[in-house]
Amino acid sequence: LDCLKLAQTNDYGKSLHAARTINDKIDLKQFRRPLSMDKILIKIDDTDDDKIEHFESLHDLMVHLLRCTIEQTNDYQSECANYLTRQTLVLFEHNNPLQDFSFYHEYNIVDNNYRRRQKSLDNNYYQLKRYKNLYFQTLLQNIISHENLATCLINNGLLIVLLKFLQAFPDKDNIRWISTIISALSMYKSTHTHFYHTGWIGILAEWLRSSDWHLKLEAGKTLYNMSIATTTTKKTNEGLLHPSIYLLWPLHEYESLRLDYDVVFIHGLKGGVLRTWRQSDQVKDTVSDYTELWPRSWLAQDFHNFRILAIHYDSYLSSWNINCSSDEFTIKDRSIKLIKELRDAGVGSRPIIWITHSMGGLFVKHMLTHCHSNISDDHPFIRQTKGIVFYSVPHRGSEMAVWSQNIQRIIYPSNHVLELQK
């Protein structure tokens, strides 16, 4: 009863502070509960007058979200987002994957006589999983394309779709996708109050206390962005973390913590924040304190005054795996984009130490040379860089990226690989 009263009286600021506190004993019931409804009623923002639209099913609302992004001007939607949206809309208008997906979740086979049926279900499940991943990827591409698209999605029920999907299909893969979409939304200040009113702060607080590092990092980024936004009266998104930037330390709120350095980790080709910076898999079963993220587990213990960030970017060995041409960036182009994203996150306002692996080291070199040659030799990155650590960085190219012309025709190497050739 006390927790219910707290949930009703806690305002946005108090809820946010409680979610970010280091105290793991905080009762999650004190947060506003997520919306729960059998029927979906959405108040649609319209230029003439507000209207209430009724949706019979989650599938109908999911299709509506795709249509609302298509109706937006192409000035907002990237080429990749537009391509994925149209492809996904056609698929979901003619199919209802959720109906079959729900059946699979409820179907539990224990009798060996049903092995053949189980194999058929498994094949269908993987197909349905591809549909679901395509839908989530489409939402994500629209969100990162432009704030107007993110606003359109929220105003048309995105947070309700994610909540109902979370409640209906709470498996690990779905929860991770949803956490990534929520953290991408958080880079826009205009979205933050929606998280509070729809009950997402309590979910984020739970994820922040999870043993799953993916959920912990996405929730930590979202709550950090919401917290930073409360400290400034600016309407811009300055100071917020972009989807490519993850905060490893401090994830929680500390009253007297002073941050003197920024340590920035950048992974290499086919790497990732939770792939490159983990402890060796070979010792996973032999040590009691195995860590999936050693910069957070080890470095933060010794250097509390360091803000530790990690960059994530998608990279590909083969162009066959790339859905959108815009995903096939050059190192130079991606480096220039990273400069803005890191500056928005406040990197450059204090001394910087870069820790890089493989292609990540080339990004840092391109960023620093671009800042020096094209912006200013007194750029904050130039002035504040105090050290760079290179792990296996191919400064002169890599022999692994050199193939014969016949092999190249088969593999169709991506730009990322071609740029690493000697």
Its CATH class, for the domain covering 244-422, is alpha beta
* Residue pointed to by tokens 């014969």: 404
- In the 3-class helix/strand/coil scheme, how is 6-75 assigned residue by residue? HHHHCCHHHHHHHHHCCCCCCCHHHCCCCCCCCCEEEEECCCCCCEEEEECCHHHHHHHHHHHHHCCCCC
The per-residue pLDDT for 361 is 96
The per-residue pLDDT for 116 is 46
The per-residue pLDDT for 328 is 58
With a cut of 50, which residues of the chain have pLDDT below it?
1, 46-48, 103-104, 106-117
The per-residue pLDDT for 205 is 93
Long-range contact pairs involving 216-219 (C-beta distance under 8 Å, separation at least 24): 216/251, 217/246, 217/247, 217/248, 217/251, 217/273, 217/274, 218/176, 218/179, 218/180, 218/182, 218/183, 219/179, 219/183
The per-residue pLDDT for 109 is 40
The per-residue pLDDT for 219 is 97
Separation between Cα atoms, residue 360 and residue 388, nearest integer Å:
11
The per-residue pLDDT for 405 is 56
Separation between Cα atoms, residue 245 and residue 217, nearest integer Å:
10
The per-residue pLDDT for 71 is 83
Residues paired with residue 261 on neighbouring β-strands, in sequence order: 306
The per-residue pLDDT for 194 is 92
401 burial via Cβ count (<10 Å: 0-12, 13-18, 19+)? middle
The per-residue pLDDT for 6 is 56
Q: How is the chain split into domains, by residue range?
A: 244-422
Residue pLDDT, tens place only, 307-338: 999 999 987 665 555 566 555 578 888 999 99
